[in-house]
Amino acid sequence: MNIGVDIRTLSFRKGGLSHYTYNLLKNVARMDSKNKYFLFNYNKSPYEWDNFKGNVEEIILRLPQRYNLKTVWETILIPLSIKKLGIDVWFSPTDFYIPPLFQKSSVITIHDLLCKNTFDSEKKQYVKQSTNKTKLDRSVKRASKIITISHFTYDEVRKEYGTESSKMFVIYSAADERFHKINNQTLLLKVLRRYGIHFPYILFVGETSERKNLVRLLHAYHLLKNENRLKKRKLLIVGKRTIDTDQIVRTVNLLGLSSDVLFTGYIPDEDLPFIYNAADLFVFPSLYEGFGLPLLEAMNCQVPVAASNSTSIPEIVGDGALLFSPYDERDIAVKMDMVINENMDVGELKRKGLIQANKFSWGKTAEGVIEIIDSLNGRH
């Protein structure tokens, strides 16, 4: 079969969605020799597809530079191209998009329902930048099959849309294979120096948005500092800035933590495993996650994890992390303190975390997606 895939995420976005798209398709191409995959994009992606078998072809459908007409691409260019190429199945791994008038089979991946459950600051930004909510509503009804990346998101979709279970499947995401224990201390120190990072530290990785709950994390950190429980550990916050970053910085200053908290901004994927490996604790206080990829990255690097007990997070970490209420600053502080001051078997927590992380792999993810695509053979 000829499979059309929307890979626009790879052109303009770095983060969880682009990682999902690339790692999934890399493994699908490696494992599936029966089907041909046509990857549709605005521009050539920074990823190399030429190294794959002959079952992958990137299709570039450019718009004139003076126009930013996403609608033209979605309603005219794509439908014409998929008709010409004889696309049998359309797959949208991140964007919910199904071409108009496409009467054959389609598969979408839903990572979360953040557009329906988001927070005030993100909602303002979301409404300004995207029409994904309306697109999602339409695509859930039209899709032949729907993939969710956690049982939490599966339940949310079923509750929101009443979608029949026969068209829905849970296929977990995974961490990139570069996230593992690093024993080369010389190289590790070289990477830390590049970003002005010093031992010891507590780590958070993720964008600095409201739902990541960093204000409460800062208050919990402040509690531990006042009680002399930190043993000189700084708090390292790694991730891109958002419209909420200024509020988080104000909280740092209000609590007198400007010399204790370091914001690195975005750190490239090739350096991020070193940042994880050098951490004494990874803390993840998020209020809402469809999956929570940094949790797997940390556990793969054998870093002890303390995390929120909210949404999909308990499902992903299993018994490989300490869980706390994300709304209770004291509970966050207590769980951090248990690791920092070794009021528990930290080695056992690391061991359980690695066992849990090993349950997820891109091979398993790709295998599940291929199985769903193959099940649509001959169906219109």
Fold designation for 2-174+361-375: Rossmann fold (3.40.50)
Domain spans, the chain: 2-174+361-375, 185-357
| Res. 379 pLDDT band, cuts 50 70 90 | low
Residue 380: band (very low, low, confident or very high) from pLDDT cuts 50, 70, 90? very low
Average the pLDDT over 150-164 and give the result. Answer: 97
Share of the chain above pLDDT 70, in %: 92
Say whether pLDDT at 125 is over 60: no
pLDDT value, residue 13: 58
| Average pLDDT of the chain to the nearest whole number | 92
User: Where is pLDDT greater, at 117 or 220?
Assistant: 220
Are domains 2-174+361-375 and 185-357 of this chain identical in fold?
Answer: yes
Judge whether residue 20 has pLDDT over 70.
yes
**3-state secondary structure string across the chain:** CEEEEECCHHHHCCCHHHHHHHHHHHHHHHHCCCCEEEEEECCCCCCCCCCCCCCEEEEECCCCCCCCCHHHHHHHHHHHHHHHHCCCEEEECCCCCCCCCCCCEEEEEECCCHHHHCCHHHHHHHHHHCCHHHHHHHHHHHCCEEEECCHHHHHHHHHHHCCCHHHEEECCCCCCCCCCCCCCHHHHHHHHHHCCCCCCEEEEECCCCHHHCHHHHHHHHHHHHHCCCCCCCEEEEECCCCCCHHHHHHHHHHCCCCCCEEEEECCCCCCHHHHHHCCCEEEECCCCCCCCHHHHHHHHCCCCEEEECCCCHHHHHCCCCEEECCCCHHHHHHHHHHHHCCCCCHHHHHHHHHHHHCCCCHHHHHHHHHHHHHHCCCCC
Instruction: Give the global pTM.
Output: 0.93
Share of the chain above pLDDT 90, in %: 79
CATH placement of domain 185-357: 3.40.50.2000
Q: What is the mean pLDDT of residues 60-80?
A: 77
